Amino acid sequence: MTSNPATPPGPARHALVFGASGAIGAALVARLLDAGWSVDAVSRAPRADAARLRWHAGAFDAMPASLPDRADAIFSCGPLDRFSLWYAGAAIDCPRIVAFGSTSDATKQAARDPGERELAMRLRASGERVFAAANARGATATLLRPTLVYGSGRDRNLSLIVALARRSGVFVLPRDARGLRQPVHVDDLAAAAEAAFDAPGAQGQAFALPGGDTIDYRTMVARTLACLHPAPRLLAVPGVLFDAALWTAHRAGRLQGLPPGAVARMREDLVFDAAPAREAFGYAPRAFRPEPAMFAVD
């Protein structure tokens, strides 16, 4: 993915990045700085400035007065709901908004867990709010919806599985955890955000951003564990046995972080089409080739 070759090199661009300390945000800021942008970044914690990078400590309900009043682009890499509410009321002058949402807006729409259904609804409403607010001020927005993100070592998906498996040397999955997944690398998402900024065809659109491979859940976990040294063992047990053990654990107040709905989803295909993003801004995500450094938690 490259910038539009028809765009002549102009003055340095200026971005305002929310969620800049996060997995995707950090990859995006590094990329923007490499490409010559100057970046104003927001974090709830104070952070050290660097060349062309200025941090602002603040939260969406209390943004600091130091925030710039104009930018060439706003990138939202933090919670979409909070960003959308802030942006709808903000006076900032900026023609382009690129915001990360999630394919959970679709995959959790009919989830068993009311909290997950509420999340899906909130994500959809937040995306609509960003588009409406951009329209109202003559700006254009792009919504990027990643699938399962990996690569930074800080995600709560594969990195969490790796951490658990490293601790006990074994990871247990139901044998029928065969729902299809498309893990996507953070650097491909950062590249997508930069490319979408420049692409006329991305304006006013939402795009799913799946990874370059479509593999089943068990294969995804097996491939991840196999890259580690030493490699933890993946134990696949019959689905009914796994479900019964989980039910017993829940009754005892354990494994609350693994709700039945999350296990049910391991058996569901969560598959999205990369073609619209490829056509609009050359999205070309890498294949899933895990390496230990991608799961090294700081």
Ligand X SMILES: NC(=O)c1ccc[n+]([C@@H]2O[C@H](COP(=O)([O-])OP(=O)(O)OC[C@H]3O[C@@H](n4cnc5c(N)ncnc54)[C@H](OP(=O)(O)O)[C@@H]3O)[C@@H](O)[C@H]2O)c1
Q: State the residues that interact with ligand X by CB under 6 A.
A: 19, 21-25, 43-45, 59-60, 77-80, 82, 100, 102, 146, 148-149, 154-155, 157
Rank residues 76 and 203 by Cβ distance to ligand X and give the closer one: 76
**Least distance (Å) between residue 159 CB and ligand X:** 10
Minimum Å gap between C-beta 154 and ligand X is 5
Pair 171, 252: CB distance under 8 Å: no
Least distance between ligand X and beta carbon 123 (Å): 8
Which CB, 21 or 142, lies closer to ligand X?
21
Q: What b/e sequence results for 77-109 when a residue is b if at least 16 CB atoms lie within 10 Å of its CB, and e otherwise?
A: bbbbbbbbbbbeebebebebbbbbbbbbbebbe
* Nearest approach, Cβ of residue 53 and ligand X (Å): 14
Looking at beta carbons, which residue is closest to ligand X? Answer: 22
Q: Which is nearer to ligand X, 77 or 94 (CB)?
A: 77
Q: How far is the CB of 183 from ligand X (least distance, A)?
A: 9
Measured from the CB atom, the residue of 23 and 120 that comes closer to ligand X is: 23
Minimum separation from the CB atom of position 82 to ligand X (A)? 5
Closer of 45 and 65 to ligand X (Cβ):
45
Give the chain as a 3 state SS string. CCCCCCCCCCCCCEEEEECCCCHHHHHHHHHHHHCCCEEEEEECCCCCCECCEEEEECECCECCCCCCCECCEEEECCCHHHHHHHHHHCCCECCEEEEECCCHHHHCCCCCCHHHHHHHHHHHHHHHHHHHHHHHCCCEEEEEEECCEECCCCCCCHHHHHHHHHHHCEEEEECCCCCEECCEEHHHHHHHHHHHHHCHHHCCEEEEECCCCCEEHHHHHHHHHHCCCCCCEEEEECHHHHHHHHHHHHHCCCCCCCCHHHHHHCCCCCCCCCHHHHHHHCCCCCCCCCCHHHHCCC
Query: Pairing relation of β-strands 180-181 and 215-216?
Result: antiparallel
CB of 100 to ligand X, least distance (A): 4
| Residue 248 C-beta: closest distance to ligand X, Å | 29
**For residues 170 and 296, which CB has a smaller minimum distance to ligand X in the complex?**
296
Instruction: Indicate the residue among 248 and 268 with the shorter CB distance to ligand X.
Output: 268
Name the residue nearer to ligand X (CB basis): 10 or 89: 89
